[in-house]
Amino acid sequence: MMPGRIIRADYRIFQFSVYLDFYQVKALAIPQNALLNRVREYFNARPNIEVEIQQIDNTCLVEFAKLDDARMFMLSFSDVIDTHGVHFD
């Protein structure tokens, strides 16, 4: 999984790495928790979103209950979301 990027796995499911090793932080020149902090701020600003968040090892899985909420998340994080070439819409 590419560090600092969010992978769109499905219409309502996103995943991203919550861990960067020292070399990745240095090579990418981004703070260790930059993406995680940005996601936290997004959800703190929107307490009414129905979402299930799981952390498995170093990967965070985000699953939205509503497709509209997933689309808003996608718009907010369009600069860091990758679909690996799959077109969901």
Does residue 35 belong to any structural domain of this protein? Answer: yes
As beta bridge partners, residue 61 has 15, 54
Residues β-bridged to residue 64: 51
* 40 within domain boundaries: yes
Assess if residue 50 is contained within a domain. Answer: yes
Q: Is residue 32 part of a domain?
A: yes
Which DSSP category does 51 fall into? E
What are 41-55's pLDDT values in tens digits? Answer: 999 999 999 999 998
54 falls within a domain: yes
The pTM score is: 0.77
Domain encompassing residue 36: 6-82
41 located within any domain: yes
> Does any domain span residue 73?
yes
80 touches 2 (CB < 8 A): no
The per-residue pLDDT for range 20-75, each reduced to its tens digit, is 555 555 555 555 567 888 888 999 999 999 999 998 888 889 999 999 999 999 99
